[in-house]
């Protein structure tokens, strides 16, 4: 078996399928991340995301997710939009949720990549992961050479910034492995820390989710605490502040993924349209959208909360 040839084959096909980057790491235990994850959980920085406490060992070792796993193929997919919401006063939606739910879009591409591997190389055992299983995406992406983890805890690539999704294929095929990304190019920059209106970035790469606007508008199912009533910066679903201010995102270019294109009605909606949104309009605009995760009730809760300011 020519591992180098197979690795190139996989990477070339990943790029042909539209992925932005593809790197490969040897499957194993994430020693550096183990104490960090344990401390983060012990400090209750995960808030109400109780699922983060589950499958601790599996989060740190993909060999517990896929029997005889040998390789973790990390992939990124650009979602930076060409068009953004037109009304500067309208409640804001994170750029990643403009179009079709990324879980659906990426899983389809991962399925095609796995089928390609089986056709060209032979039968392999493997699983695809898209932010829906106990896998530490950023750790594997860094280990696969795709970038470094910035102070805002996002993976950053020098050529394209950070507006991209991460996903993995964990397979039982031995391949040629890329070198981990070891250089931190954030330097002394603290723009993301300084810009966060809720002070959610406690220290470089340490986020208190309980203060994060994305957590408050998506993960939190209870009422948003009143302490944040003047700190939401008009975000109704997710938040892009720490990415928008990052100097590396000056290199972001519009994606080439048709499924991520927003509907015209979404980007053209004005503030009053959002404040008067009905469940019927919600279902039409956000059909097959990641925004459906918060449901109509959750989105209107968020809109009502930021409307108080």
| Residues with active-site annotation | 131
How many angstroms separate the CA atoms of 298 and 303, rounded? Answer: 9
The phi, psi pair for 210, rounded to 5°, reads: -60, -20
Q: Is 145 left (phi over 0), alpha (psi -120 to 50) or beta?
A: left
Residues 106 and 257: beta-carbon distance below 8 Å:
no
Angle between helices 102-120 and 3-16 (to 10 degrees): 140
Chain-centre distance for alpha carbon 267: 21
The phi, psi pair for 69, rounded to 5°, reads: -60, 135
Q: Assign 13 to helix, strand or coil.
A: helix
């Amino acid at each position: 078996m020519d591992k180098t040839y197979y690795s190139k084959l996989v990477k070339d096909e990943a790029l042909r399928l539209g992925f932005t980057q593809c790197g490969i790491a040897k499957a194993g235990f994430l020693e550096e991340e183990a104490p960090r994850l344990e401390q983060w959980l012990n400090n209750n920085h995960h808030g109400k995301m109780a699922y983060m406490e589950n499958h601790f060992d599996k989060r740190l070792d993909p060999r517990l997710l896929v029997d005889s796993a040998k390789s973790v193929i990390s992939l990124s997919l650009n979602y930076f939009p060409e068009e953004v919401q037109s009304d500067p006063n309208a409640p804001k939606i994170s750029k990643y949720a403009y179009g079709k739910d990324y879980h659906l879009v990426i899983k389809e591409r991962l399925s095609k990549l796995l089928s390609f591997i089986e056709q060209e190389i032979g039968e392999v055992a493997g699983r695809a992961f898209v932010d829906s299983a106990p896998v530490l995406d950023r750790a594997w992406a860094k280990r696969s050479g795709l970038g470094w983890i910035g102070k805002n805890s996002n993976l950053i690539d020098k050529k394209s910034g950070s507006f991209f999704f991460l996903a993995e294929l964990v397979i039982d095929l031995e391949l040629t492995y890329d070198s981990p990304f070891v250089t931190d190019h954030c330097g002394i920059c603290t723009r993301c820390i300084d810009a966060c209106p809720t002070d959610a970035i406690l220290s470089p790469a340490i986020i208190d989710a309980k203060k994060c606007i994305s957590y408050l508008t998506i993960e939190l199912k209870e009422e948003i605490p009143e302490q944040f009533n003047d700190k939401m910066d008009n975000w109704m679903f997710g938040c892009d502040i720490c990415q928008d201010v990052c100097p590396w995102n000056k290199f972001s270019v519009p994606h080439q993924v048709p499924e991520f294109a927003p509907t015209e009605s979404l980007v053209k909606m004005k503030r009053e349209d959002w404040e008067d949104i009905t469940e019927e309009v919600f279902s039409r605009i956000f059909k097959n959208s990641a925004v459906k995760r918060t449901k109509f009730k959750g989105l209107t809760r968020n809109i009502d909360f930021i409307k108080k300011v």
